[in-house]
Amino acid sequence: MNAVFLLLKNHPFFKEFTDAQLQRIGEGATLVNFNPGQYIFREGEDADQFYLILGGLVSLEVQVPKRGSVTIERIDAGDVLGWSWLYPPHRWHFDAHAQEEIRAIMIDGEFLRNMIEEDREIGFKMMKRIAMIMEHRLQSTRIKLMEVYDIYKDPSLRRPSNWQN
């Protein structure tokens, strides 16, 4: 077994996947690092990667008129980053900014889209997991924007501990 396979197998996002499925997914995966302060991606850029965060802290940010950059959520080890690779027009909707040194697995988005089309079981598992993340991120964005515009205070920027269930 190679290192990427073992990292995929131990990542919470892939806990429902079989070894054979993880081996296939690993074919499109690469280990990557980002330095503190580096942008992993920027809003509007081509979205063609999916990241599993192994270590470090990422700020997911949105640009708010008259306010500048606002952190919607903080993403750290055991979490995932990016779902825009899945849906046309395949453009990022947020900025992802490394706050610390990031170690991650990057999976090619086109590779995953093709796999989802070819293997409905993998596709169902991926869509189920990503839908949960999307729902949480949309709620985090809504709450944070209410805070920014003084409608609501003290939102939680962390994913609930039960998201991996």
Please classify residue 150 by burial: count the beta carbons closer than 10 Å to its beta carbon, then call 0-12 exposed, 13-18 middle and 19+ buried: exposed
Q: Comparing 55-59, 118-122, 128-132, 146-150, which segment has the lowest mean pLDDT?
A: 146-150
- Give the pLDDT of residue 39: 97
The mean pLDDT of 136-154, rounded to a whole number, is 69
- Give the pLDDT of residue 151: 56
| Sequence ranges of the domains in the chain | 3-155
Does position 81 have pLDDT exceeding 60, yes or no? yes
Higher pLDDT, 165 or 65: 65
CATH topology of domain 3-155: Jelly Rolls (2.60.120)
Q: Extract the tokens encoding 65.
A: 């008129």
Looking up tokens 């131990």 gives 10
- Give the pLDDT of residue 99: 97
Measuring CA to CA, which residue among 12, 5, 22 is closest to residue 80? 12
Does position 154 have pLDDT exceeding 60, yes or no? no
The mean pLDDT of 18-41, rounded to a whole number, is 97
Distance between CA 32 and CA 156 in Å, rounded? Answer: 28
